[in-house]
Amino acid sequence: MNFVPFVAAWGILLIATIVVAFYRNRLAAQEDDTLHVLDGEEQYLERQKLLGQKLERLERWIKVLIIVLVVSGLAIAGSYVYYTFLVSDQIRVG
């Protein structure tokens, strides 16, 4: 069995996860930790609220991607070990 397509797809998923995490990190650097309470600072509040919502969405995607990455990686590794076991068993019997 050829595992190259599965490993390649897993690698692409890994790269996508890293890119999304890097993008989230870049957005988080724009976050302002100052509490704006004065009358003329409503524009900052709205911008920070939108940025916070965007960061929350990205964090959800990152969590999902990491879960899929781990589960698929374990499935590929388990399949490889099982296939290797079957092939080695056939070599001994045959």
* 84 part of a folded domain: yes
How far apart are alpha carbons 52 and 60 in whole angstroms? 12
Range of the domain at 71: 4-30+42-93
Give pLDDT tens digits for 47-92.
888 999 999 999 999 999 999 999 999 999 999 999 999 888 777 6
**Tokens describing residue 65:** 């991607």
Can you give the pTM of this predicted structure?
0.80
| Mean pLDDT calculated for residue range 33-41 | 71
Give the model's pLDDT for residue 12: 98
How far apart are alpha carbons 64 and 68 in whole angstroms? 6
* 37 part of a folded domain: no
User: Could you tell me which residues come within 8 angstroms of residue 59 by beta carbon, excluding any fewer than 6 positions away?
Assistant: 24
* 70 part of a folded domain: yes
Task: Choose the weakest-confidence range: 4-8, 14-18, 33-37.
Answer: 33-37
Give the model's pLDDT for residue 45: 81
Structural domain total, the chain: 1
Dihedral sign of CA atoms 82, 88, 89, 91 in order:
positive
